[in-house]
Structure 1
Amino acid sequence: MKQTADVLIVGSGAAGLTAALNLAETHKVAVIAKGALGEGATSWAQGGIAAVLEKGDSFVSHVEDTMIAGAGLNDRHVVEHVVEEAPRAIQRLIDLGVPFATDGDALHLTREGGHSHRRIVHVADATGYAVQQALETAAAKHPNITLVPDMVAVDLITGRHAKDFSTSGAVHGLYAYNRKKKRVEALTGRATILATGGAGRTYLYSTAPRGATGDGIAMAWRAGCRISNMEFMQFHPTCLYNLEVKNFLITEAVRGEGGLLKNPKTGERFMPAYDKRGELAPRDIVARAIDNEIKRDGLDFVWLDISHREPEFVREHFPNIYDKLRGLGIDITREPIPVVPAQHYTCGGVLVDLHGCTDAPGLYAAGEVTQSGLHGANRLASNSLLECLVFGEAAARHITANWDQLPAATDVRPWDESRVTDSDEEVVIAQTWGEIRRFMWNYVGIVRTTKRLERAKHRIDLLRQEVAEYYKHFRVTPDLIELRNLVEVADLIIRSALGRHESRGLHYTLDCPGLLPEAKDTILVP
């Protein structure tokens, strides 16, 4: 079979496109997106990118802030490496034309929860969109990069799929469903990079895009890679509460610029009662505080109020949020915003080293799909886009430097549909998806108990059997592919949560509210 490209990249966000641009000087690269190129999480990132650029700030300070937020579970060596790479990563984006906000001749820096200094570079409140546009434009112009939208990854191709069967575990590409041709195709390459994002859509309420169904995590697991720290699901404290508009995030920077959280029943600010840092405490603390206020007082939401700041300042710093909420009848310069927590970021994922290498030869991963050691038990605000940029480049460098040692191309078997039929039970997919998201929210949410986790495990075991049976008998569709991955990832989250007998970072259980003496990663082995 003819090789599709030298390197296949699954995912067209910041991590995938950064890797592509760094590889394209010497290799032919194909970037696979399961929908439109800009539909991933990168475009949704409002806040910005953390980097040490302010006078008086230091790498040491950024490292310590990251370690504190991560509850000591971070790999310090990885944190130091990423933090030191941050200023160079920002400069590369400036060179690509990202129009970061400035203050005179210098970049304008804002501050977010958990940071001891102003170190967030941003493009108003739509940083991710600006970064995505710059990377996408550069990639589209490069003759060695082919951008392939509407290809839904199904599974990684390993030696088991080769005509000359092998148990080496090496990855030779992937099978992907072509939405336009409505068929599964085999795409092959010498190296494959997973940049597929997180698994936010495992939960009922999430700020993640529709496609965040844990595809890369599930595929890597099925291919034999270890998965780590899946119990650490970050819940963003402030998602707009609106019955018509779902999943609209109110950036952390609103609190960084003075926004206050208030109880609608009393009108009083409540965060100082939970943490001395108030609204600037790390996200897990703020999310639990809001969750407690809502449950204790029977509220639907709490208020986030920045109306005490000058109207011009609010409109200038948060133009997209201002316009969006104005259209919903909320003037944030005069009244508070109703907010609730929502799943926001997957801190665990495919285990990788500093080069983005996974356990499978020929397979790399970068960004939210990974557990790199950067985030630990809770991601520090605005370290996520930074991770994508640093590890996207690292994977590209390692592939280039080790090209001759990568698995040789092999003939693979085409996708076999000879024993399946078209489904006449599509309702099963929607029903199962809804069921997973509801019990994950109720049983594996912000605050957990062993009993709730065991109930979730019982339900997911039954659903895994049902989905596996369904998958055996019917032709794949994008919805079925996503459901299969969603079931797999939900099981990994529950298993990881059941295995952690302490409350650390984002994993908070009423049965074990204290910390164990030693911080240890949860590592699941296929």
Structure 2
Amino acid sequence: MSGWEAAADLVVVGSGVAGLTAALDAAEAGLRVVVVTKDSADAGSTGWAQGGVAVVLGDVAGDSVAAHVEDTLAAGGGLCDPAAVRAILADGPAAVARLRARGARFDGPDARPDRTREGGHSAFRVVHAGGDATGAEVERALVAAAGDRRLPLLTGHVAVDALLDARGTLAGLAVLDDAGRPGVLRTPAVLLATGGYGQLYASTTNPETATGDGVALALRAGATAADLEFVQFHPTVLYTGPAVGRRPLVTEAVRGEGAVLRDRTGRAFMAGVHPLADLAPRDVVSAAISRTLAESGAVCVFLDATALPGFGRRFPTVTAACRAAGVDPTTEPIPVTPAAHYSCGGVVTDLHGRTGVPGLYAAGEVARTGLHGANRLASNSLLEGLVMGERVVAAVLGDRAAGRPAPGPAVAPPPAVPIAPRGVVQRAMTAAAGIGRSASGLAAASDVVEAATALSVPCDRAGVEDAALTLLAQAVLAAAGGRTESRGCHLRTDFPARDDTWQRESLPIGLDATGRAVVLPALATTKGSAA
């Protein structure tokens, strides 16, 4: 790729919680670091997180890291890596303390922040900011800290490909700017912190940036992904009619503080579905809502928060979204439906963010550490980003100190990649790979995407994103077709029961010789990810 060139010790792709945490740590350690983001620094998924950060700070009677671990394992449906869960959650309090030292302000007194409870949690352990604007506060603090340190931010640039040398070691990163002009960052280390792939679906809580770029880039570089079939649908997204694109989220903390889900007759339908009723894990609640809608023919259910005192003060973001849609949540139930929310799987890494490609690291939603398993526990995502962002920098420093050979000249990757129109991909995935999947539907969706796919050279951000979505569609469909059971947020209508022959077994995804996403030999969760 011709165009400009620059050099760095570490290139961070993405400016969310994991990326900026890593970039700040790397700069403080004396590394030359560049942050690459395809939009503005605050345009990723982090800023949209409402609920909070799940963390045990030691000041809530009866709660403990061990209890947080047990809740996470229970939500993960048997596919979490227990060692990864213990390690990441144990590092949470220190990571939150460092975030606060960088300027983040949580609700309540500094000595004892306010806590709320969310689905799947056995205790009030979720710290929050701005009522229901925690992600926005985390993003604000980290962007401000990056500005204070004058971190180089390359905004308006999309990462196209990892550049490898003849040995398969990372040698750089190819990028395109908003005008389609190419550039290369020569570096021995790239951290992917690009978020998830919610834009695979027509309706999502994710911003437009969540197109799976990082997972696709890692797969093309030779890394492995896993657990891609576990796409978590948030149960309560504000329903305003049939819509495409990002939809307003109604945070789980609303149910945590007493709101009740009701069908159109007013029946509280979660009673008897799960011991935690409305506070059951997200996969359980989303599936129950989908069943209720299918049985009743209704287009939405209702979240009744009318009995909650001070709703507008506690949940200002939700209140503003409701009122913009003509709903007053203090006097009438909120119409809600599920929407694609979080990618529980991603690029397989160890517990320091290392992938199978030397020099390529991943952290945050783009990565699969073993923390989330088949279904993420609410508010564990911001915590994972904080912890893993720090751990990656420790790994980069350790790998440098170990004297890993410098990369050789980069070998140019193939310029043309499979691309299908985004609308075709989104319609196929929404119809066949949402809540409720079957072999026939998955095969039909795969055929539709395949028929619309052609080799093309991405020449701008939209092309890179469409290529990523096409590859992620192949990968998710392959993984969902291969898992012939229902577990966590993967619900097969033709295999409705959980089958524990699948216990602790993840389906790894890689590329075959033609560049197509395929299922590889099984990856046990007890191996590799806890390294």
Per the alignment, residue 52 of structure 1 pairs with 56
Q: Is the 8 A contact 1:191 1:399 kept in 2?
A: yes
1:387-424 alpha-carbon deviations (Å, 9 max, x no partner): 1111110000111122143451544478999x99xxxx
* Alpha-carbon separation, structure 1, partners of 2:69 and 2:466: 38
* Alpha-carbon separation, structure 2, partners of 1:327 and 1:280: 27
1:314 to 302, 311, 314: 311
* Alpha-carbon separation, structure 2, partners of 1:105 and 1:416: 55
Q: Is the 8 A contact 2:161 2:413 kept in 1?
A: no
* Alpha-carbon separation, structure 2, partners of 1:192 and 1:375: 23
Per the alignment, residue 86 of structure 1 pairs with 92
- Cα distance change, pair 239–345 in 1 and its aligned pair in 2 (3 A): same
What amino acid maps onto 2:217 in structure 1?
M
Percent identical: 42
- Cα distance change, pair 416–178 in 1 and its aligned pair in 2 (3 A): farther
Query: Shift in Å at residue 499 of structure 1?
Result: 0.9
SS at 2:271's partner residue?
A: helix
- Cα distance change, pair 495–413 in 1 and its aligned pair in 2 (3 A): closer
* Alpha-carbon separation, structure 1, partners of 2:321 and 2:366: 30
What amino acid maps onto 2:344 in structure 1?
C
Per the alignment, residue 516 of structure 1 pairs with 499
Q: Does 1:457 align with 2:446?
A: yes
Per the alignment, residue 298 of structure 1 pairs with 297
Q: Is the 8 A contact 1:463 1:487 kept in 2?
A: no
2:155 to 131, 140, 149: 149
Per the alignment, residue 108 of structure 2 pairs with 102
What amino acid maps onto 1:341 in structure 2?
P
* Alpha-carbon separation, structure 2, partners of 1:251 and 1:504: 24
Q: How does 1:307-386 map to 2 (within 5 A)?
A: 307-310=306-309, 313-386=310-383
SS at 2:302's partner residue?
A: strand
Per the alignment, residue 185 of structure 1 pairs with 183
Q: Is the 8 A contact 2:177 2:460 kept in 1?
A: no
* Alpha-carbon separation, structure 2, partners of 1:327 and 1:215: 32
Q: Is the 8 A contact 2:207 2:246 kept in 1?
A: no
Per the alignment, residue 484 of structure 1 pairs with 467
- Cα distance change, pair 3–412 in 1 and its aligned pair in 2 (3 A): farther
Per the alignment, residue 12 of structure 1 pairs with 15
* Alpha-carbon separation, structure 1, partners of 2:277 and 2:333: 17
* Alpha-carbon separation, structure 1, partners of 2:463 and 2:62: 52
What amino acid maps onto 2:450 in structure 1?
D
TM superposition outliers: structure 1 runs of 4+ over 6 Å: 413-417
* Alpha-carbon separation, structure 1, partners of 2:504 and 2:487: 9
* Alpha-carbon separation, structure 2, partners of 1:433 and 1:157: 26
1:16-57 alpha-carbon deviations (Å, 9 max, x no partner): 000001111210100000011100000000010001132210
Q: How does 1:121-520 map to 2 (within 5 A)?
A: 121-123=127-129, 124-143=131-150, 145-159=151-165, 166=166, 168-179=167-178, 181-243=179-241, 246-264=246-264, 266-310=265-309, 313-404=310-401, 405-412=403-410, 432-464=421-453, 466=454, 468=455, 471-472=456-457, 476-517=459-500, 518-520=503-505
TM-score in terms of structure 2 length = 0.90
Structure 1 portions without partners, runs of 5+: 160-165, 421-427
- Cα distance change, pair 414–450 in 1 and its aligned pair in 2 (3 A): closer
SS at 1:487's partner residue?
A: helix
SS at 2:232's partner residue?
A: strand
* Alpha-carbon separation, structure 2, partners of 1:448 and 1:416: 34
* Alpha-carbon separation, structure 1, partners of 2:315 and 2:434: 29
* Alpha-carbon separation, structure 1, partners of 2:214 and 2:426: 19
* Alpha-carbon separation, structure 1, partners of 2:327 and 2:484: 43
SS at 2:506's partner residue?
A: coil
* Alpha-carbon separation, structure 2, partners of 1:463 and 1:236: 29
Per the alignment, residue 69 of structure 1 pairs with 75
Deviates more, 1:513-522 or 1:92-101: 513-522
- Cα distance change, pair 156–228 in 1 and its aligned pair in 2 (3 A): same
* Alpha-carbon separation, structure 2, partners of 1:525 and 1:204: 25
Structure 2 portions without partners, runs of 5+: 512-531
Q: Does 1:41 align with 2:48?
A: no
SS at 2:159's partner residue?
A: strand
* Alpha-carbon separation, structure 2, partners of 1:242 and 1:407: 56
Query: Shift in Å at residue 104 of structure 1?
Result: 8.3
Equivalent pairs, count: 499
What amino acid maps onto 1:491 in structure 2?
Q
Query: Shift in Å at residue 3 of structure 1?
Result: 4.6
Query: Shift in Å at residue 171 of structure 1?
Result: 1.3
What amino acid maps onto 1:476 in structure 2?
C
Q: Is the 8 A contact 2:171 2:409 kept in 1?
A: no
Q: Is the 8 A contact 2:198 2:343 kept in 1?
A: yes
Query: Shift in Å at residue 140 of structure 1?
Result: 1.5
SS at 1:156's partner residue?
A: strand
* Alpha-carbon separation, structure 1, partners of 2:413 and 2:40: 24
